[in-house]
Chains A and B, each alone.
Chain A
């Protein structure tokens, strides 16, 4: 098992190198000039050229790449052209927001999605099942920015219960933090909950038709025990896969949710950095996301072993 993990980690290195080269080339081949953005709309070419010189953007691409990648190897991602801080600091600061937002959304989607999926499977083809599946279909269909705006209008503008946006640091004010995160987590988690409920329902239905379930009932076990212990454990594998995949979806959805709710997260940082061509930040963020994906996949593969004793890696 340990040798398997080590092998996977070593295999990640060429992946990250390729990601690094591709993102660097893409970012620098895209038209658009950070110097012109900084100087504003009235700048002349001479001013733009001077600033490009100062920022080192007029050096040959190969020189810039070596300078950047050399830094990456020393875990130095360079400095942002706009934010007046190092890329690492900027990313770490944002990671907290996006990480917590994704975590809360994931928890919400599990708390809502799994029980409802089980309920729908148990009550399959009844009115309860139909109603739940209709709800989950609309949940999966509603775009999260639209749900976000509806939530803001109702809870912030009409009822004034919750703030319309903005972020409160968890260390500064715990209550304020949760008040600020309720709406965005729900906006982001709702569609995942809907998706999860559908997967849980169909996997559960498959399992419930298995022989060992009939055996469990035949030996006199109570229904609750059969479903929660015998059936659910076997549903965990597809659920884990979906949750692992949904991490990616959550990160993608976080871009939009962060914009609607004015949260200073990774997604918003990346989108804005692309808009203003903040090359070091774009490159650093993509590298970080790549690392994150590699780790998430690894984690899911390792979890399989614990969830399903039949799965073995390596010798």
Chain B
């Protein structure tokens, strides 16, 4: 069975691999540590113990289909699994699927499921569960909706075979069905049917840990799933064998930062989710704590409202872009040493990284900005610039940017809201010109939130960008896709739908007892391979 599976992996690799050899150099260098820790982990863990993770707050839901909030994935991807997932190089590999095939015209996709995979409620995972999960997910997630629009029919051939009849070749079909925030987690059909139109109240998956109990603001408790259908051959990125060393995991909401740090130092928690890198100084030198730099998974941005009367003027947007000096913005926002500057909309750790259009990145040219403003006939209308103090880095970055913009002749009306208000206002095109936010890691450029052209708040919607995105979506020739992506990034810098400021570099803070932790955390942390040295 293993040999058969690896054969299928190769087949997927040939057709679907997202990365090309050229860029592996960058990725491998940056992720070298990850791969080493991945290999060193094999078969040496001790079984037992409960991992205690301090999370920044109560998750908004435990339903992975429902939200892009990272915290939900951090907790629940130990409970749920997807059809496909990512290996250490962010290439697609099967997880609950056994293999996949595509017809020559790209319109028929066949997925074969693994047999004998059991849900936590004892049912066996079958095609009907996958189809029910897909339908539910496709009604909520943006990516799911666009995949659904390209699908004419889904056929349950037998219990372990599903056919997707598409109306356009969907180049990113397998990545779209892979592990990610708001990804297609497979739930039992019975659970989905029981929930109906209501929110999900049972959390049943196929993953290595099962959901046991949630006491709001106290803990969320997971327990090892003894009937887990494990793959063989050791862990491989987000997939492969899941080691299940821990008896269980507890996720404890600890919103107060000082309390989180003290709890880690006191040995009450093993890991801090959402650790602020600048706090490293407090923990440095403590022999019981390990601090490690992770690969970046968010870039900070000022999103510009494409539909606001002021900012729909491309020359004004270009003036905005020219006025900014990113180094001081990121330094004040993130702290010295915890950011990197590069023009790539896809991170340097992926094969997609490109510097196309980069001469317009981080210009620091107030004179050019002034000239552009004059050319555009800017009349001193204040820019309504929304930010939040709930994430201090956005607020701090906005303060520096305001100064730079005013030096270049802009009038800035900085509006500070709490997060819930900010994201509500962001949805109304009448209310703002610029807003701070972050764009999170995606293995494929079509999955970036900003690629929901014309609908994601900011509403970037040019003919050129839509054409390029369409090519990127349907094309399956990797060389053509990379070329298209280069052009799309160039268009981004010319049309200025937003400003990419820089990458935030995260740091993990954990107890030295916690072993086997993979530094590959771009999509979510992997706790299923962790063990505790007592």
Q: Do A and B bind each other?
A: yes
**A residues at B contact (CB < 8 Å):** 30-34, 36-48, 50, 54, 82-85, 90, 93-94, 149, 152-153, 156-157, 160, 163-167, 259-262, 264, 268-269, 272, 275-277
Contact B66 A33 (CB under 8 A): no
Contact A44 B420 (CB under 8 A): no
Contact A153 B262 (CB under 8 A): yes
Contact A157 B266 (CB under 8 A): yes
Chain A residues contacting B61 (CB-CB under 8 Å) are 38, 82, 84
A-B contact count (CB 8 A): 153
**Does B60 sit within 8 A of A, measured CB to CB?**
yes
What are the 10 A-B residue pairs with the smallest beta carbon separation, nearest first? Answer: A40-B68, A32-B420, A264-B217, A42-B449, A33-B424, A40-B69, A42-B68, A40-B67, A164-B266, A156-B266
Chain A residues contacting B437 (CB-CB under 8 Å) are 41
| Candidates A163, A272, A277; contact of B217 at CB < 8 Å | A272
**B residues at A contact (CB < 8 Å):** 57-58, 60-62, 66-70, 72, 140-142, 181-182, 197, 199, 201, 214-218, 252-256, 258-259, 262-263, 265-268, 390, 417-421, 423-425, 427, 437-438, 440, 449, 452, 455-457
Chain B residues contacting A276 (CB-CB under 8 Å) are 58, 60, 420
Contact B256 A259 (CB under 8 A): yes
Chain A residues contacting B255 (CB-CB under 8 Å) are 259, 272
Bound Cα distance A125, B146 (Å): 80
Contact A54 B197 (CB under 8 A): yes
Bound Cα distance A104, B36 (Å): 52
Bound Cα distance A272, B253 (Å): 11
* A-B contacts besides A33-B427, A259-B259, A276-B420, 12 pairs, CB < 8 Å: A41-B423, A41-B440, A44-B457, A82-B216, A149-B262, A152-B266, A156-B263, A157-B265, A157-B266, A165-B254, A165-B263, A268-B217
**Most chain B CB neighbours (cut-off 10 Å) among A94, A163, A262, A269:** A262
Contact A31 B425 (CB under 8 A): yes
A33-B423, A84-B199, A164-B263 known; A40+B58 contact, CB < 8 A: no
Contact B259 A275 (CB under 8 A): no
Bound Cα distance A153, B286 (Å): 14
CB B297 to nearest CB in A, in angstroms, measures 13
Contact A42 B440 (CB under 8 A): yes
Contact B60 A42 (CB under 8 A): no
Chain A residues contacting B254 (CB-CB under 8 Å) are 165, 262
A33-B420, A37-B423, A43-B68 known; A149+B263 contact, CB < 8 A: no
Chain B residues contacting A48 (CB-CB under 8 Å) are 427
CB A190 to nearest CB in B, in angstroms, measures 18
CB A151 to nearest CB in B, in angstroms, measures 10
| Candidates B60, B267, B390, B452; contact of A160 at CB < 8 Å | B267
Contact A84 B253 (CB under 8 A): no
Chain A residues contacting B425 (CB-CB under 8 Å) are 31
Contact B266 A163 (CB under 8 A): yes
Contact B258 A260 (CB under 8 A): yes
Minimum CB distance partner of B428 in chain A = A45
Bound Cα distance A276, B61 (Å): 12
Contact A47 B140 (CB under 8 A): yes
Chain B residues contacting A84 (CB-CB under 8 Å) are 61-62, 199, 201, 214
Chain B residues contacting A93 (CB-CB under 8 Å) are 215-216
Minimum CB distance partner of A276 in chain B = B420
CB A161 to nearest CB in B, in angstroms, measures 10
CB B300 to nearest CB in A, in angstroms, measures 12
Contact A41 B263 (CB under 8 A): no
Bound Cα distance A47, B419 (Å): 18
| Candidates B197, B218, B252, B455; contact of A46 at CB < 8 Å | B455
Chain B residues contacting A90 (CB-CB under 8 Å) are 216
CB A155 to nearest CB in B, in angstroms, measures 9
CB B522 to nearest CB in A, in angstroms, measures 15
Bound Cα distance A85, B216 (Å): 9
Chain B residues contacting A41 (CB-CB under 8 Å) are 68-69, 423, 437-438, 440, 449
CB B18 to nearest CB in A, in angstroms, measures 20
Minimum CB distance partner of A261 in chain B = B259
Contact B455 A40 (CB under 8 A): no
A and B contact pairs by CB, cutoff 8 A, 28 listed? A30-B421, A32-B424, A37-B60, A40-B182, A41-B449, A42-B449, A43-B67, A43-B68, A44-B142, A44-B452, A45-B455, A46-B455, A54-B199, A82-B58, A82-B60, A82-B61, A90-B216, A149-B258, A152-B258, A156-B262, A156-B263, A156-B266, A157-B262, A157-B266, A165-B263, A166-B218, A269-B216, A275-B390
Bound Cα distance A215, B272 (Å): 66
| Candidates A38, A163, A260; contact of B67 at CB < 8 Å | A38
Bound Cα distance A268, B253 (Å): 11
Chain B residues contacting A149 (CB-CB under 8 Å) are 258-259, 262
Chain B residues contacting A31 (CB-CB under 8 Å) are 417, 421, 424-425
Minimum CB distance partner of B426 in chain A = A36
| Candidates B252, B256, B438; contact of A166 at CB < 8 Å | B252
Chain A residues contacting B427 (CB-CB under 8 Å) are 33, 36, 45, 48
Bound Cα distance A98, B531 (Å): 35
Contact B216 A275 (CB under 8 A): no
Chain A residues contacting B256 (CB-CB under 8 Å) are 259-260, 262
CB A264 to nearest CB in B, in angstroms, measures 4
Chain A residues contacting B456 (CB-CB under 8 Å) are 42, 44
| Candidates B68, B199, B418; contact of A39 at CB < 8 Å | B68
Bound Cα distance A217, B134 (Å): 87
Contact A164 B268 (CB under 8 A): yes
Contact B218 A36 (CB under 8 A): no
Bound Cα distance A164, B241 (Å): 36
Minimum CB distance partner of B422 in chain A = A32
Bound Cα distance A166, B218 (Å): 7
Chain A residues contacting B423 (CB-CB under 8 Å) are 33, 36-37, 41
Contact B69 A272 (CB under 8 A): no
Bound Cα distance A260, B258 (Å): 8
CB B444 to nearest CB in A, in angstroms, measures 15
Minimum CB distance partner of B140 in chain A = A47
Contact A36 B420 (CB under 8 A): yes
Minimum CB distance partner of A90 in chain B = B216
Contact A260 B259 (CB under 8 A): yes
CB B239 to nearest CB in A, in angstroms, measures 23
Minimum CB distance partner of B268 in chain A = A164
Minimum CB distance partner of A31 in chain B = B421
Chain A residues contacting B68 (CB-CB under 8 Å) are 39-43
CB A100 to nearest CB in B, in angstroms, measures 14
Bound Cα distance A196, B58 (Å): 36
A42-B440, A44-B456 known; A83+B58 contact, CB < 8 A: yes
Minimum CB distance partner of A94 in chain B = B217
**Most chain B CB neighbours (cut-off 10 Å) among A32, A160, A259, A277:** A32
Chain A residues contacting B57 (CB-CB under 8 Å) are 272
Contact A40 B199 (CB under 8 A): no
CB B393 to nearest CB in A, in angstroms, measures 14
Chain B residues contacting A153 (CB-CB under 8 Å) are 262
CB A280 to nearest CB in B, in angstroms, measures 14
CB A152 to nearest CB in B, in angstroms, measures 5
Bound Cα distance A275, B268 (Å): 26
Bound Cα distance A157, B140 (Å): 45
Bound Cα distance A44, B455 (Å): 6
Minimum CB distance partner of B250 in chain A = A166
Chain B residues contacting A259 (CB-CB under 8 Å) are 255-256, 259
Bound Cα distance A277, B421 (Å): 9
CB B50 to nearest CB in A, in angstroms, measures 13
